[in-house]
Structure 1
Amino acid sequence: MHAVRPEEHADPVEAVLAAHRAGTRLSLATSGTTGAVRRVLRSTQSWWGSFAAYSELSGVAAGARVWLPGPLTSTMVLFAAVHAAVVGATRVDDPGEATHACLTPAQLEMRGAELPRETWVAVAGAALSKRLTLRAAARGLTVSHYYGAAELSFVAASAPRRNEGAGPVPAGLRPFAGVEIAIRDTPGPGSIWVRSPSVCDGYDGAPGPLRRDGEWATVGDVGRIRHGVLEVLGRPDAVTTAGATVLLAEVEAVLAGVAEGPFAVHGLPHAVFGEVLAVTCVDPADEPRLRAAARTLPASHRPRIWRRADTLPLTPAGKVDRAALASVLGTTLGGAR
């Protein structure tokens, strides 16, 4: 049966609703932030089955006014828009009118101040720093957090809880309703595997990172589980510098503990070493803090180039665009500093 491509319709949300009524599968484009854009095949029921749990996580119910700043070509945004339509919520274009929002961490960092106090924000992304969470709480926002992937749908989530004196902050990521999580050493050390009714049916066209082992599946994201809480390090984007392969997620995990503003770790081409690690940050006061934290890393993992930017470029899906950073800031370097 033909799969519906929502972005090819004048109203992508209505196209998904019609596909559900007809029992037709969806063909959804991935964000392309970790490689080429691919198309994921999934049943509409794999989404509908998550709606009750997502309502509890996001607070979105009938009468809610939901702000979704990303495009409907993003599976995160399209899911939230379809969910809003099904439960009787409305979408608003002005963040000042919102009671609820679904944002990436970068969008929360850059646009969270536009939301009214007491707005409930569901943050979708691998990592949500304590600093950013507490800053949002200080603005009066209620924040919940979830991690997933286009191929896997929801994997883990943290509902808000109240911290003494800190306002509503999310607890650690735990398996989403109906999902089991395991950490394995394939396809690489620390790979996150899930068993879930919401895993996609495969790809529509070119293959992607999804791997299966019976009922279990992974897209290669890495992480660890401590006391039942999942810490996600993200997709293992890597830089090869002077013969050493460095996972960017490992460097970012250390620097995130001290950063006050947005920053990104990325590679820049180098005439001798192939690539060098670079850090681009927005807050000028962050650089000395980040440099100090970087000195605790092994020599191979220490950034050599430090840059500042007024803002970090984002993909249409609201994620930091590392490729754009390298393109805008990077010329082939003859030496690192």
Structure 2
Amino acid sequence: MIAEAVERVAAAQPGRAAIVTAEAALTYGELRERSWRTWAAIGDGVAAISLASAFHTARIVAALAAHGGIVAALDPRWPLAQRVQTITTCGVAVLVTDDAELERALRDAAWAGRTLDLEALERTERASTTASRTTAPGTTAPSTTAPIARPPCERPDDEPFLLLFSSGTTGAPKAFLKTCGQYRANVAVSRRRLGAHDGTVTFAPGPLSSSLTLYTLLEALATGGTVHLADALDDLWLTPQAAGVTRLVTIPAALHALVHAARRDPHRFAGLELIVTGGASLPPPLHAAVGEALPAARLVNYYGAGELGFIGKTRHGAELRLFDGVEAQVRDGDERLPEGGLGTLWIRSASCSDRYLVPPQPIMDAGGWATVHDRARLRGRTLELAGRDGDVVTTGGHTVSLLHVEQAFEGMPGLGAVCAVPLPHRHLGIAIALVVEGDAPPTPALRSWAAERLAPASRPRRWLRVERLPRTTGGKIRRAETAALVREEAS
């Protein structure tokens, strides 16, 4: 997938940019020469990367994804205990990190793997020009008895190459594997539907531990494109027009910053032709604002999950159309619901993973249907999303989607991000509270807005304000953590 594209572009246009960051850049010619040495230096088995540098994380991930082994990008901002647990329970054999505290914690945990800092890695890469190498999982330092043979260009479809993690919006991230074949199926969708083509220059702000940013890196290289990376979503406004960026991939929440920046300086973003968003629904008012600020750019929002791959393209709010090759069912327990029924969404496609590794938990059933426990209604090949299990609550005998409550407040002047959460109620069992972020309209105005747009059972009964809602490192709001804050305040 990646190795084939790198070889092809490096042979035809070795000077074409492959990976670009504010720190450094690599051309396809440089990536071809360096990536197999990186692979030789690290070895096969499971390798984890926990670095502050987006550039070095990207080049190492690209090398291992292309040539061998399984690679995981760990966010250095994750709690130390979480990173230690991930490394010690997921079979990691090699860790590349610049975090001395993490190294000490792993020694204290009696982890038996090998650690490399960047200096040691680069020294080993240089030595790899004359060193031989074994390919057994968990290999340590290479010996120096014979020249290295370059790795094969193509990895088989059933070979796992990425260790990914769930988004963590409903709890601690869970680990799962992706195979080369599953990602080839994803890349085929990107080519057909999401504008990933040979020579396309894409900007992807956000941490590489986010499956959205990580996939964009691999997708760009697999299609012969150029990817510009930034360490944080806050760097979105730095998009360089001079670099020839024509495509942006990010989460919907980041579009607010883009709209404000484009309104201040519309010429800076004049080169953008396509904006691709994923990871959350795209509010219609935000879609309209992007269209006004960047009329030359086409906006595409897709729905998918790291575990399931691409599922469909958003049409109106939470409604979407399934991509070709994707089958869907909606179930209540083991029972398949009739058309229009609200239940748990199950997907069958070539991109689905089968299970979580830690903790062990199935994603896929015996029939090849997989779920991440999203709630939805299905009519033909049109899906209407209603959030995750836990995002749908029963209050006073009525079933209410918390996602739909939040969507009702989209477009309210002066209102930023919101999160609807369930709270215990003496008479109703569960009542809905709306938590608003930062400055917001007064409570009477919020109540009036809700009364005009929501059925009585769906209207929030409590209204709270926080300076900043809890979020994952990828920018998604953590509903469970928000609810815990509200309960703590109430007590």
TM-score (norm 2): 0.57
1:48 to 166, 184, 190: 184
Q: What amino acid maps onto 1:82 in structure 2?
A: L
Mapped to 2, the partners of 1:242 and 1:49 lie a distance apart of 41
The DSSP-based 3-state class of the residue aligned with 1:291 is helix
Match of 1:321 in 2: 478
Match of 2:164 in 1: 28
Match of 1:164 in 2: none
The answer (yes or no) to whether the contact 1:96–1:114 under 8 Å persists in 2 is: no
Match of 1:265 in 2: 419
Match of 2:350 in 1: 197
The answer (yes or no) to whether the contact 2:374–2:385 under 8 Å persists in 1 is: yes
Q: Could you say if the C-alpha distance between residues 111 and 34 of structure 1 is closer, same or farther in structure 2, counting changes exceeding 3 Å? A: farther
Query: Residues 113-262 of structure 1: matches in 2 within 5 Å?
Result: 113-114=260-261, 116-117=269-270, 119=272, 120-140=274-294, 141-158=297-314, 173-186=320-333, 189-208=342-361, 210-212=363-365, 214-226=367-379, 228-238=381-391, 247-256=401-410, 261-262=415-416
The DSSP-based 3-state class of the residue aligned with 2:277 is strand
Instruction: Check if 1:302 corresponds to 2:302.
Output: no
Instruction: Check if 1:74 corresponds to 2:210.
Output: yes
Match of 1:333 in 2: 490
Pick which of 139-148 and 305-314 moved more: 305-314
The DSSP-based 3-state class of the residue aligned with 2:365 is strand
The answer (yes or no) to whether the contact 1:210–1:220 under 8 Å persists in 2 is: no
Q: By percentage of residues, which structure has more helix?
A: 2
Q: What amino acid maps onto 1:198 in structure 2?
A: S
Match of 1:14 in 2: 63
Q: What amino acid maps onto 2:355 in structure 1?
A: G
1:112-167 superposed Cα distances (whole Å, 9 cap, x missing partner): 444613521111034112111111111123211111112111111258xxxxxxxx
Q: Could you say if the C-alpha distance between residues 96 and 78 of structure 1 is closer, same or farther in structure 2, counting changes exceeding 3 Å? A: same
Q: What amino acid maps onto 2:239 in structure 1?
A: P
User: 1:255 Cα shift?
Assistant: 3.3
The DSSP-based 3-state class of the residue aligned with 1:49 is helix
Count of residues paired in the alignment? 324
User: 1:73 Cα shift?
Assistant: 1.0
Mapped to 2, the partners of 1:5 and 1:319 lie a distance apart of 26
Mapped to 2, the partners of 1:142 and 1:287 lie a distance apart of 36
Please provide the CA RMSD for this pair. 3.6
1:252-279 superposed Cα distances (whole Å, 9 cap, x missing partner): 2433475775322233877978875223
Mapped to 2, the partners of 1:146 and 1:274 lie a distance apart of 32
Match of 1:39 in 2: 175
The DSSP-based 3-state class of the residue aligned with 2:408 is helix
TM-score (norm 1): 0.79
Mapped to 1, the partners of 2:447 and 2:437 lie a distance apart of 11
Q: What amino acid maps onto 2:225 in structure 1?
A: A
Q: Could you say if the C-alpha distance between residues 15 and 275 of structure 1 is closer, same or farther in structure 2, counting changes exceeding 3 Å? A: farther
Mapped to 1, the partners of 2:489 and 2:437 lie a distance apart of 20
The answer (yes or no) to whether the contact 2:423–2:433 under 8 Å persists in 1 is: no
User: 1:13 Cα shift?
Assistant: 2.8
Mapped to 2, the partners of 1:154 and 1:323 lie a distance apart of 25
Q: What amino acid maps onto 1:280 in structure 2?
A: V
1:285-335 superposed Cα distances (whole Å, 9 cap, x missing partner): 59666423433645554323334456655321121233554566664326x
Q: Could you say if the C-alpha distance between residues 230 and 13 of structure 1 is closer, same or farther in structure 2, counting changes exceeding 3 Å? A: same
2:255 to 108, 113, 121: 108
Q: Which one has more relative contact order, counting CA pairs under 8 Å at least 6 apart?
A: 1
1:228-275 superposed Cα distances (whole Å, 9 cap, x missing partner): 422222213348798878542242243347577532223387797887
User: Identity of aligned pairs, percent?
Assistant: 30
Q: Could you say if the C-alpha distance between residues 128 and 208 of structure 1 is closer, same or farther in structure 2, counting changes exceeding 3 Å? A: farther
Pick which of 60-69 and 18-27 moved more: 18-27
Structure 2 unaligned segments of length 5 or more: list them.
Answer: 1-43, 52-56, 70-153, 231-237, 263-268, 336-341
